[in-house]
Amino acid sequence: MATTAQLFEEPFDADEYIERLAWRTPGGGSKGGAEAFDPKKLLEEFVNHIEELKQLDERIQRKVEKLEQQCHREAKEFAHKVQDLQRSNQIKEAADIIQKLHLIAQELPFDRFSDVKAKIASKYHDLERQLIQEFTAAQRRGEIGRMREVAAVLLHFKGYAHCVDVYIKQCQEGAYMRNDVFEDIAILCQRVNKQVGEVFCSPETVMAKLIQSIFENRIQAHVKERLEETRHSDVEQYLKNLYDLYSRTTALAAKLTDFNLDKHTFLSKLIKNIFSCYLESYIDMERQYLQNRSGLILQRYYDSKNHQKRPVGTGSMQELKERIRQRTNLPLGPSIDTHGETFLSQEVVVNLLQETRHAFERCNKLSDPADLPKNAFSIFLLLVEYLCVDHIDYALEIGLSAIPSPDAKNANLYFLDVVQQLLSLRFDKQFNDHLMPLISSSPKLTECLHKKKEVIEQMEVKLDTGIDRTLNCMIGQMKHILVTEQKKTDFKPEDENNVMIQYTTACSKVCAYVSKQVERVRRSMDGKNVDTVLTELGVRFHRLIHEHLQQFSYSSMGGMLAICDVAEYRRSAKDFRVPLVLQLFDTLHALCNLLVVAPDNLKQVCSGEQLTNLDRNLLHAFVQLRVDYRSARLGRHFS
């Protein structure tokens, strides 16, 4: 039979228990049964059962001792709680009494009740100090309920504000453990915001005081440390730090507005108190840094090219030269050899635009709203000065100076490389993406647009001038080839029956040169610019060939050769992909037919579709180039 405590539950009869044990033991029944009575087995069972009873007694005794200890401990804890509640009530009662006595004492005359007033005041301050100490201890223990009780009692005491100060100081202890102070502050405020509502009757006021303490102490010290170490030694890092700190402070303030704070006045004032001394001088430092940095970028580039910048003339004399050059296309002054260098750098442009973009971003964040358009415009003017004037305009000036005269031989036309690089720049993107949003609603917009228009127009004038002079040089090169390679005997061969060539050497070389230049123009430009420039080049090319052909006399075979040359020129004209240019060479080809047509058919040819609308003097001039003009009396057809 298993030995358990349940066997001894009331009512318990020892004799019945022993009898039941003996009866269940094999051979132990007193009345006989299936087995004969066996005293040894019964004795063995009794011995074993007694041992089990001893073990059961030990277990029960240990359990009793444990329960007694737990009961004593709980009794002690209960007694402490009762004492705390009694003491708490005595504090509340004492506080109520001393508060009332303190108010009454204020009305008592000092001369008669000075001792009483002093005792009441002393007791008032002692109790106030004890309450604050109790609140401090409860906060350290994390006893929210006790903190709430003490704070409620202190609410009517002068030391209530000191209680709040103690709370604010203690809740910041150990709060700044990370490298990111702003993240620490956000976590701290979230935690405290949940707690102050359980402790204080005016949680918004306590949170405001906590945030004020954080801003005026922790954040201000952090900002000062970060900025003062670089303010005079590393302006670039100083500006980056200022932007980062101000951005993160305002972002933190935006999070804190969830705590029912007046974001427009309270938080803005706190931020202003921290940063005002830095923001007052911000734009001056920004402009000075941007000037120094931009100048350094340019200087490093020109140094890498071993180039000493040439002074670009200014004043009335330079303006006069510029007007003469634009109107007459004269290369005033000797051309310089740039050795193929455009003095335009994509890397320089990217760096200048990037520095300016950072400046615009800082300007947008750090400028007073009233000063933002003015400050942004001043940054834009620096971009114009260093990028547009000191780099791009300088490259255009150098490029213009490097364009050789039209009569130069083997001229290298690098100005198209300048055009190609300049057209790849995207100055408009910086203007539209970063400047326009900062000035779009201010009077500075008109001034800024005017400045942009002025700068672009100045560039376009120089580009147009350079392209025009470059086209003149191309025509000059073609003219040089024609003068050098074209012989008078080409169109009036000595042996009319022994001409073996399809077109003249001069024509072949001119066409090869034209093909290269057309391809170069296409590489250097895009869009409508290509068509515009190729149209102008094609018109001048046609004029050159037209005038060139009028310098010779043509025999019958020579006229045929001239037609072959013009056909080859027309084939080159197709590369222009400009209908006007092809039409001009079609007409020139038709004119050349006048050099070989039979005299009797001359009038019929002049009335043909391609020549009928041309001036008769022009037709006559071409007919006069024939060697048989006088002998065949061809002039009578135009009389």
Same domain flag for 366 and 429? yes
The domain containing residue 195 runs over which residues? 174-274
Both 184 and 224 in a single domain?
yes
Q: What pLDDT score does 296 carry?
A: 96
Yes or no: say if 534 and 578 are a contact pair by the CB < 8 Å rule.
yes
Q: Domain containing 523 — which CATH number?
A: 1.20.58
Q: What is the pLDDT of residue 271?
A: 93
Predicted confidence at residue 407, as pLDDT, reads 80
Rounded mean pLDDT, 401-426: 81
The reply to whether 348 and 496 lie within a common domain is no
Q: Are residues 231 and 348 in the same domain?
A: no
Q: In this predicted structure, what is the pLDDT of residue 9?
A: 63
- Reply yes or no on whether the pLDDT at 291 is more than 90: yes
* 592 and 505 co-located in one domain: yes
Helix (H, G, I), strand (E, B) or coil at 248: helix
- Does the pLDDT at position 246 exceed 90? yes
Q: In this structure, how many other beta carbons lie within 10 angstroms of the beta carbon of residue 279? A: 17
- Quote the mean pLDDT of the chain: 82
351 within a domain of the structure (yes/no)? yes
Residues 465 and 513 in one domain: no
Q: What is the pLDDT of residues 15-34, one digit of tens each?
A: 777 777 777 777 666 554 55
Residues written for the chain: 639
pLDDT tens readout for residues 513-550: 999 999 999 999 888 999 999 999 999 999 999 999 99
Residue 495's pLDDT band, with cuts at 50, 70 and 90, is confident
Does the pTM surpass 0.75? The reply is no
494 and 461 share one domain: no
Q: Is residue 299 part of a domain?
A: no
Indicate the SS3 state at residue 474.
helix
* pLDDT for 285 beyond 90: yes
Of 128-132, 345-349, 565-569, the range with the lowest mean pLDDT is: 128-132
Q: In terms of C-beta distances under 8 Å and separation of at least 24 residues, what long-range contacts does 136-141 make, across chains too? A: 136/166, 136/170, 139/166, 139/167, 139/170, 139/171, 140/170
Where does the pLDDT of residue 432 fall: very low under 50, low under 70, confident under 90, or very high at 90 and above?
confident
Q: Which of 25-34, 197-206, 370-379 is most confident?
A: 370-379
Q: What is the pLDDT of residue 315?
A: 46
pLDDT of residue 551: 93
Domain boundary among 451, 476, 501: 476
pLDDT computed for residue 326 by the predictor: 47
**Residue 3 included in any domain:** no
Same domain, 492 and 633: yes
**94 falls within a domain:** no
Residue 124: inside a domain: no
Instruction: Give the total number of structural domains in the chain.
Output: 3
Is residue 39 one of the residues assigned to a domain? Answer: no
pLDDT tens digit string along 76-126? 776 676 566 555 555 855 555 555 544 555 555 555 555 555 555 555 566
Q: Classify residue 375 as exposed, middle or buried by CB count within 10 Å of its CB (0-12, 13-18, 19+).
A: buried
Do 407 and 460 belong to one domain? yes
Q: Point out the domain boundary residue: 449, 476, 503.
A: 476
DSSP states of 505-567 as a string? HHHHHHHHHHHHHHHHHHHH--THHHHHHHHHHHHHHHHHHHHHHTTS-B-HHHHHHHHHHHH
Residue 592 lies in a domain: yes
| Same domain for 422 and 347 | yes
The pLDDT of residue 470 is above 80: yes
443 & 348 share domain: yes
The answer as to whether 130 is a domain residue is no
Q: Do 365 and 509 fall within a single domain?
A: no
Using the 3D structure, point to which of 476, 497, 531 is the last residue of a domain: 476
* DSSP 8-state code for residue 600: G
Specify whether the CB–CB gap between 525 and 420 falls below 8 A.
yes
Q: What percent of the chain shows pLDDT beyond 90?
A: 37
pLDDT of 544: 97
